[in-house]
Copies of this chain bind each other. A is one copy, B any other.
Amino acid sequence: MTEQSTEPRPTLEAVAARAGVSRATVSRVVNGGDGVREPLVERVRRAVEELGYVPNQAARSLVTRRHDAVAVVIAEPETRVFADPFFALQLRGISKELTAHDSQLVLLLTEGRDDHARVARYLAGGHVDGALVFSLHLDDPLPGLIRGVPTVYGGRPGWRDGSRGAVYVDSDNRGGAREAVRHLVGLGRRRVAHITGALDQTSAVDRLDGYRDVMVDADPGLTVESDFTLGGGERAMRELLDRCPDLDAVFAANDLTAAGALRVLRERGRRVPQDVAVVGFDDMLPFTEQADPPLTTVRQDIEEMGRLMARLLLRGLERTGAASARAGEDVAEAPSSVVLPTTLVRRASA
Protein backbone atom coordinates (compact mmCIF):
# COMPACT_ATOMS: atom_id res chain seq x y z
CA MET A 1 0.00 0.00 0.00
CA THR A 2 1.30 3.43 -0.88
CA GLU A 3 2.39 4.95 2.38
CA GLN A 4 1.29 8.28 3.72
CA SER A 5 3.93 10.87 3.02
CA THR A 6 5.08 12.25 6.33
CA GLU A 7 6.20 15.69 5.25
CA PRO A 8 3.68 18.13 6.63
CA ARG A 9 1.39 19.84 4.22
CA PRO A 10 1.92 23.57 3.84
CA THR A 11 -0.43 25.87 5.73
CA LEU A 12 -1.84 29.28 4.96
CA GLU A 13 0.86 30.68 7.17
CA ALA A 14 3.58 29.15 5.04
CA VAL A 15 2.09 30.52 1.86
CA ALA A 16 1.75 33.94 3.48
CA ALA A 17 5.39 33.92 4.53
CA ARG A 18 6.54 32.95 1.07
CA ALA A 19 4.42 35.56 -0.64
CA GLY A 20 5.34 38.19 1.91
CA VAL A 21 1.75 38.96 2.87
CA SER A 22 -0.56 38.18 5.76
CA ARG A 23 -2.62 35.06 6.28
CA ALA A 24 -5.77 37.07 5.70
CA THR A 25 -4.66 38.09 2.24
CA VAL A 26 -3.80 34.57 1.24
CA SER A 27 -7.18 33.45 2.50
CA ARG A 28 -8.85 36.09 0.38
CA VAL A 29 -6.99 35.05 -2.72
CA VAL A 30 -7.68 31.39 -2.17
CA ASN A 31 -11.37 32.15 -1.79
CA GLY A 32 -11.77 34.12 -4.97
CA GLY A 33 -9.44 37.04 -4.61
CA ASP A 34 -11.99 39.84 -4.25
CA GLY A 35 -10.60 43.04 -2.86
CA VAL A 36 -6.98 42.16 -3.39
CA ARG A 37 -4.87 44.08 -5.88
CA GLU A 38 -3.67 42.26 -8.93
CA PRO A 39 0.09 42.12 -8.27
CA LEU A 40 -0.53 40.64 -4.83
CA VAL A 41 -2.99 38.13 -6.18
CA GLU A 42 -0.38 37.03 -8.64
CA ARG A 43 2.29 36.69 -6.00
CA VAL A 44 0.07 34.66 -3.73
CA ARG A 45 -1.04 32.43 -6.57
CA ARG A 46 2.55 31.68 -7.36
CA ALA A 47 3.36 30.87 -3.75
CA VAL A 48 0.37 28.53 -3.58
CA GLU A 49 1.56 26.84 -6.72
CA GLU A 50 5.14 26.45 -5.60
CA LEU A 51 4.25 25.02 -2.23
CA GLY A 52 1.46 22.85 -3.54
CA TYR A 53 -0.86 24.31 -0.98
CA VAL A 54 -4.27 22.73 -0.52
CA PRO A 55 -6.63 24.21 2.07
CA ASN A 56 -7.38 22.09 5.09
CA GLN A 57 -11.04 21.40 4.83
CA ALA A 58 -11.41 20.51 8.49
CA ALA A 59 -10.09 23.86 9.63
CA ARG A 60 -12.28 25.62 7.15
CA SER A 61 -15.42 23.76 8.14
CA LEU A 62 -14.69 24.45 11.76
CA VAL A 63 -15.27 28.12 11.26
CA THR A 64 -17.59 28.29 8.27
CA ARG A 65 -19.84 25.49 9.37
CA ARG A 66 -20.10 24.43 5.80
CA HIS A 67 -18.81 21.09 4.65
CA ASP A 68 -19.30 21.10 0.93
CA ALA A 69 -20.56 17.61 1.31
CA VAL A 70 -23.96 16.03 0.87
CA ALA A 71 -25.09 12.67 2.17
CA VAL A 72 -26.89 10.26 -0.11
CA VAL A 73 -28.92 7.84 1.95
CA ILE A 74 -30.08 4.63 0.39
CA ALA A 75 -32.33 2.72 2.69
CA GLU A 76 -32.18 -0.64 1.17
CA PRO A 77 -33.71 -3.56 2.96
CA GLU A 78 -33.97 -5.59 -0.19
CA THR A 79 -31.58 -6.63 -2.87
CA ARG A 80 -33.82 -5.49 -5.67
CA VAL A 81 -31.96 -2.22 -5.68
CA PHE A 82 -28.95 -3.85 -7.16
CA ALA A 83 -30.81 -5.83 -9.75
CA ASP A 84 -31.43 -2.80 -11.92
CA PRO A 85 -29.29 0.17 -12.82
CA PHE A 86 -31.67 2.53 -11.11
CA PHE A 87 -29.49 3.70 -8.27
CA ALA A 88 -26.31 3.67 -10.25
CA LEU A 89 -27.81 6.06 -12.76
CA GLN A 90 -29.31 8.22 -10.08
CA LEU A 91 -25.97 8.38 -8.31
CA ARG A 92 -24.33 9.38 -11.50
CA GLY A 93 -26.70 12.28 -11.98
CA ILE A 94 -26.23 13.34 -8.39
CA SER A 95 -22.49 13.07 -8.65
CA LYS A 96 -22.39 15.24 -11.75
CA GLU A 97 -24.37 17.99 -10.15
CA LEU A 98 -22.46 17.91 -6.88
CA THR A 99 -19.13 17.96 -8.65
CA ALA A 100 -20.18 21.03 -10.56
CA HIS A 101 -20.78 22.70 -7.20
CA ASP A 102 -17.59 21.42 -5.58
CA SER A 103 -19.51 19.28 -3.18
CA GLN A 104 -18.64 15.80 -2.11
CA LEU A 105 -20.91 12.81 -2.03
CA VAL A 106 -21.01 10.83 1.19
CA LEU A 107 -22.77 7.55 0.59
CA LEU A 108 -24.78 6.03 3.40
CA LEU A 109 -26.17 2.57 2.77
CA THR A 110 -28.32 1.08 5.47
CA GLU A 111 -28.53 -2.51 6.54
CA GLY A 112 -31.65 -3.18 8.46
CA ARG A 113 -33.41 -1.29 11.18
CA ASP A 114 -30.68 -0.53 13.68
CA ASP A 115 -28.85 1.23 10.96
CA HIS A 116 -31.47 3.90 10.70
CA ALA A 117 -30.43 5.24 14.05
CA ARG A 118 -26.85 5.30 12.93
CA VAL A 119 -27.71 7.26 9.82
CA ALA A 120 -29.90 9.65 11.73
CA ARG A 121 -27.14 10.28 14.21
CA TYR A 122 -24.67 10.90 11.48
CA LEU A 123 -26.93 13.38 9.76
CA ALA A 124 -27.72 15.12 13.02
CA GLY A 125 -24.02 15.31 13.72
CA GLY A 126 -23.68 18.07 11.19
CA HIS A 127 -21.13 16.36 9.04
CA VAL A 128 -22.86 17.30 5.84
CA ASP A 129 -24.74 20.28 4.53
CA GLY A 130 -27.76 18.31 3.44
CA ALA A 131 -29.11 14.92 2.52
CA LEU A 132 -30.62 13.19 -0.45
CA VAL A 133 -32.76 10.33 0.72
CA PHE A 134 -34.25 7.48 -1.19
CA SER A 135 -37.21 6.54 0.86
CA LEU A 136 -38.42 3.41 -0.73
CA HIS A 137 -41.05 2.19 1.62
CA LEU A 138 -44.22 3.51 3.09
CA ASP A 139 -43.31 2.49 6.60
CA ASP A 140 -39.72 3.68 6.47
CA PRO A 141 -38.93 5.24 9.83
CA LEU A 142 -36.01 7.23 8.50
CA PRO A 143 -37.79 10.40 7.39
CA GLY A 144 -39.14 10.76 10.89
CA LEU A 145 -35.68 10.48 12.34
CA ILE A 146 -34.13 13.17 10.19
CA ARG A 147 -34.08 16.46 12.01
CA GLY A 148 -32.48 19.71 11.21
CA VAL A 149 -30.85 18.64 7.97
CA PRO A 150 -32.10 20.01 4.67
CA THR A 151 -33.36 17.01 2.78
CA VAL A 152 -34.64 16.18 -0.67
CA TYR A 153 -36.32 12.84 -1.26
CA GLY A 154 -36.02 10.62 -4.29
CA GLY A 155 -39.51 9.46 -5.06
CA ARG A 156 -42.57 10.74 -3.29
CA PRO A 157 -42.39 9.79 0.38
CA GLY A 158 -45.39 7.80 1.41
CA TRP A 159 -46.54 9.58 4.48
CA ARG A 160 -50.15 9.33 5.40
CA ASP A 161 -50.43 12.99 6.27
CA GLY A 162 -49.78 14.24 2.80
CA SER A 163 -46.01 14.43 2.78
CA ARG A 164 -46.08 17.56 4.92
CA GLY A 165 -44.05 19.88 2.81
CA ALA A 166 -41.24 17.48 2.03
CA VAL A 167 -39.35 18.28 -1.14
CA TYR A 168 -39.02 15.38 -3.50
CA VAL A 169 -38.27 14.53 -7.11
CA ASP A 170 -40.37 11.87 -8.74
CA SER A 171 -41.42 10.60 -12.10
CA ASP A 172 -44.96 11.01 -13.21
CA ASN A 173 -45.76 7.42 -12.38
CA ARG A 174 -49.48 7.87 -12.54
CA GLY A 175 -49.41 9.78 -15.80
CA GLY A 176 -46.99 7.31 -17.34
CA ALA A 177 -49.17 4.40 -16.34
CA ARG A 178 -52.18 6.13 -17.82
CA GLU A 179 -50.39 6.63 -21.09
CA ALA A 180 -49.31 3.01 -21.19
CA VAL A 181 -52.79 1.70 -20.57
CA ARG A 182 -54.36 4.16 -23.01
CA HIS A 183 -51.92 2.93 -25.61
CA LEU A 184 -53.08 -0.63 -25.03
CA VAL A 185 -56.71 0.42 -25.21
CA GLY A 186 -55.95 2.37 -28.36
CA LEU A 187 -54.65 -0.88 -29.85
CA GLY A 188 -58.11 -2.27 -29.37
CA ARG A 189 -57.34 -4.32 -26.28
CA ARG A 190 -60.24 -4.67 -23.91
CA ARG A 191 -59.03 -7.14 -21.29
CA VAL A 192 -56.02 -5.20 -20.02
CA ALA A 193 -54.41 -6.73 -16.94
CA HIS A 194 -52.02 -5.07 -14.51
CA ILE A 195 -49.20 -6.63 -12.53
CA THR A 196 -48.45 -4.18 -9.72
CA GLY A 197 -45.15 -3.43 -8.09
CA ALA A 198 -44.51 -3.74 -4.37
CA LEU A 199 -47.40 -1.74 -2.98
CA ASP A 200 -45.47 -0.43 -0.01
CA GLN A 201 -43.74 1.88 -2.45
CA THR A 202 -45.47 4.95 -3.74
CA SER A 203 -44.26 4.34 -7.28
CA ALA A 204 -46.18 1.08 -7.37
CA VAL A 205 -49.27 2.66 -5.87
CA ASP A 206 -49.17 5.54 -8.32
CA ARG A 207 -48.83 3.23 -11.30
CA LEU A 208 -51.76 1.19 -10.09
CA ASP A 209 -53.78 4.39 -9.73
CA GLY A 210 -52.86 5.36 -13.28
CA TYR A 211 -54.07 2.00 -14.52
CA ARG A 212 -57.35 2.42 -12.66
CA ASP A 213 -57.79 5.94 -14.00
CA VAL A 214 -58.14 4.47 -17.48
CA MET A 215 -59.64 1.07 -16.72
CA VAL A 216 -62.40 2.49 -14.58
CA ASP A 217 -64.70 -0.48 -14.76
CA ALA A 218 -62.06 -3.15 -15.12
CA ASP A 219 -62.54 -6.61 -13.71
CA PRO A 220 -60.68 -6.56 -10.36
CA GLY A 221 -59.45 -10.00 -11.26
CA LEU A 222 -57.28 -8.42 -13.92
CA THR A 223 -55.10 -6.82 -11.28
CA VAL A 224 -52.58 -8.92 -9.39
CA GLU A 225 -50.12 -7.75 -6.81
CA SER A 226 -46.45 -8.44 -7.30
CA ASP A 227 -43.08 -7.08 -6.21
CA PHE A 228 -41.08 -5.59 -9.07
CA THR A 229 -39.00 -8.75 -9.53
CA LEU A 230 -38.66 -11.09 -12.45
CA GLY A 231 -39.78 -14.11 -10.47
CA GLY A 232 -42.69 -12.15 -9.13
CA GLY A 233 -43.67 -11.23 -12.65
CA GLU A 234 -43.69 -14.87 -13.65
CA ARG A 235 -45.84 -15.88 -10.74
CA ALA A 236 -48.26 -13.03 -11.32
CA MET A 237 -48.57 -13.82 -15.01
CA ARG A 238 -49.38 -17.47 -14.29
CA GLU A 239 -52.03 -16.43 -11.82
CA LEU A 240 -53.50 -13.99 -14.33
CA LEU A 241 -53.62 -16.55 -17.12
CA ASP A 242 -55.28 -19.07 -14.87
CA ARG A 243 -57.80 -16.57 -13.65
CA CYS A 244 -58.50 -14.68 -16.87
CA PRO A 245 -57.45 -16.78 -19.87
CA ASP A 246 -59.10 -14.24 -22.17
CA LEU A 247 -56.85 -11.29 -21.30
CA ASP A 248 -55.35 -9.57 -24.31
CA ALA A 249 -52.89 -7.12 -22.75
CA VAL A 250 -50.67 -6.70 -19.70
CA PHE A 251 -49.32 -3.53 -18.18
CA ALA A 252 -46.45 -4.52 -15.89
CA ALA A 253 -45.26 -2.19 -13.12
CA ASN A 254 -41.69 -2.36 -14.36
CA ASP A 255 -39.55 -3.94 -17.03
CA LEU A 256 -38.31 -6.78 -14.87
CA THR A 257 -41.85 -7.80 -14.12
CA ALA A 258 -42.67 -7.51 -17.81
CA ALA A 259 -39.74 -9.82 -18.56
CA GLY A 260 -41.22 -12.43 -16.23
CA ALA A 261 -44.56 -12.01 -17.91
CA LEU A 262 -43.06 -12.40 -21.37
CA ARG A 263 -41.39 -15.62 -20.36
CA VAL A 264 -44.58 -17.15 -18.99
CA LEU A 265 -46.59 -16.00 -21.99
CA ARG A 266 -44.16 -17.75 -24.31
CA GLU A 267 -44.20 -20.82 -22.10
CA ARG A 268 -48.00 -20.92 -22.36
CA GLY A 269 -47.90 -20.46 -26.10
CA ARG A 270 -49.30 -16.94 -26.29
CA ARG A 271 -47.83 -14.79 -28.97
CA VAL A 272 -46.70 -11.28 -28.09
CA PRO A 273 -48.06 -8.91 -29.22
CA GLN A 274 -50.62 -10.76 -31.38
CA ASP A 275 -52.38 -12.60 -28.56
CA VAL A 276 -51.26 -10.51 -25.64
CA ALA A 277 -49.70 -7.06 -25.81
CA VAL A 278 -47.23 -6.17 -23.06
CA VAL A 279 -46.03 -2.81 -21.76
CA GLY A 280 -43.41 -2.31 -19.07
CA PHE A 281 -42.11 0.65 -17.11
CA ASP A 282 -38.65 2.23 -16.66
CA ASP A 283 -37.03 1.58 -20.03
CA MET A 284 -34.18 -0.24 -18.49
CA LEU A 285 -31.60 -0.40 -21.23
CA PRO A 286 -30.22 -2.40 -22.89
CA PHE A 287 -32.63 -4.97 -21.61
CA THR A 288 -35.79 -3.50 -23.11
CA GLU A 289 -34.27 -3.22 -26.56
CA GLN A 290 -32.88 -6.72 -26.45
CA ALA A 291 -35.96 -8.42 -25.11
CA ASP A 292 -37.84 -10.81 -27.33
CA PRO A 293 -39.87 -9.09 -28.59
CA PRO A 294 -38.34 -5.68 -27.81
CA LEU A 295 -40.38 -4.19 -25.01
CA THR A 296 -42.74 -1.26 -25.29
CA THR A 297 -42.31 0.64 -22.06
CA VAL A 298 -42.60 3.93 -20.22
CA ARG A 299 -39.32 5.74 -20.00
CA GLN A 300 -38.24 7.86 -17.08
CA ASP A 301 -35.02 9.83 -17.06
CA ILE A 302 -33.33 8.43 -14.01
CA GLU A 303 -30.09 10.32 -14.29
CA GLU A 304 -31.97 13.56 -14.64
CA MET A 305 -33.89 12.75 -11.48
CA GLY A 306 -30.64 12.45 -9.61
CA ARG A 307 -29.29 15.64 -11.05
CA LEU A 308 -32.44 17.45 -10.14
CA MET A 309 -32.44 16.19 -6.58
CA ALA A 310 -28.95 17.51 -6.09
CA ARG A 311 -29.77 20.79 -7.75
CA LEU A 312 -32.81 21.31 -5.56
CA LEU A 313 -30.85 20.59 -2.43
CA LEU A 314 -27.97 22.86 -3.35
CA ARG A 315 -30.32 25.66 -4.25
CA GLY A 316 -32.00 25.32 -0.90
CA LEU A 317 -28.67 25.41 0.85
CA GLU A 318 -27.62 28.53 -1.01
CA ARG A 319 -30.82 30.19 -0.02
CA THR A 320 -30.40 29.36 3.64
CA GLY A 321 -26.78 30.33 3.69
CA ALA A 322 -27.32 33.47 1.67
CA ALA A 323 -27.04 35.92 4.53
CA SER A 324 -24.75 37.79 2.23
CA ALA A 325 -27.43 38.27 -0.40
CA ARG A 326 -27.58 41.90 -1.37
CA ALA A 327 -30.62 43.76 -0.30
CA GLY A 328 -32.89 44.28 -3.26
CA GLU A 329 -31.79 41.04 -4.83
CA ASP A 330 -34.58 38.60 -5.23
CA VAL A 331 -34.46 35.97 -2.58
CA ALA A 332 -34.69 32.63 -4.30
CA GLU A 333 -37.90 30.73 -3.82
CA ALA A 334 -37.86 27.86 -1.40
CA PRO A 335 -37.45 24.90 -3.71
CA SER A 336 -40.50 22.78 -4.23
CA SER A 337 -41.01 19.25 -5.43
CA VAL A 338 -40.66 18.32 -9.06
CA VAL A 339 -42.44 15.59 -10.96
CA LEU A 340 -40.70 14.65 -14.17
CA PRO A 341 -42.62 13.64 -17.25
CA THR A 342 -42.42 10.17 -18.69
CA THR A 343 -42.56 9.10 -22.31
CA LEU A 344 -43.98 6.00 -23.88
CA VAL A 345 -41.42 4.19 -25.99
CA ARG A 346 -43.09 2.00 -28.58
CA ARG A 347 -41.33 -1.16 -29.58
CA ALA A 348 -42.64 -4.50 -30.70
CA SER A 349 -44.38 -5.88 -27.62
CA ALA A 350 -47.40 -3.56 -27.82
Contact = CB atoms under 8 A, between A and B. Distances in A.
Contacts of A99: 109, 111, 115, 118
A125 B57 contact: yes
Number of copies of this chain that the complex holds: 2
Interface in A83-115: 83, 85, 87-89, 91-92, 95-96, 99, 104-109, 111, 115
A210 B11 CA distance: 51
A126 interface: yes
A2 B166 contact: yes
A81 interface: yes
Contacts of A334: 1
A299 interface: no
A275 to B, nearest CB: 20
A149 B82 contact: no
Interface residues of A, number: 66
A4 B96 contact: no
A22 interface: no
Given A59-B62, A127-B57, A286 B105 contact: no
Given A85-B82, A106-B105, A107-B95, A313 B118 contact: no
Contacts of A111: 96, 99
A85 B79 CA distance: 10
Contacts of A85: 82-83
A277 to B, nearest CB: 22
Contacts of A280: none
A124 interface: yes
Given A61-B58, A99-B118, A4 B106 contact: no
Interface of A: 1-5, 9, 52, 54-59, 61-62, 67, 69, 72, 81-83, 85, 87-89, 91-92, 95-96, 99, 104-109, 111, 115, 118, 121-122, 124-127, 146-152, 166-167, 229-231, 263, 286, 290, 312-313, 316, 320, 334-335
A96 to B, nearest CB: 7
Nearest to A263: B290
B104 A91 contact: no
A169 to B, nearest CB: 12
B1 A126 contact: no
Nearest to A290: B230
Given A91-B109, A230-B290, 6 more contacts: A1-B150, A2-B150, A69-B106, A82-B88, A95-B107, A104-B122
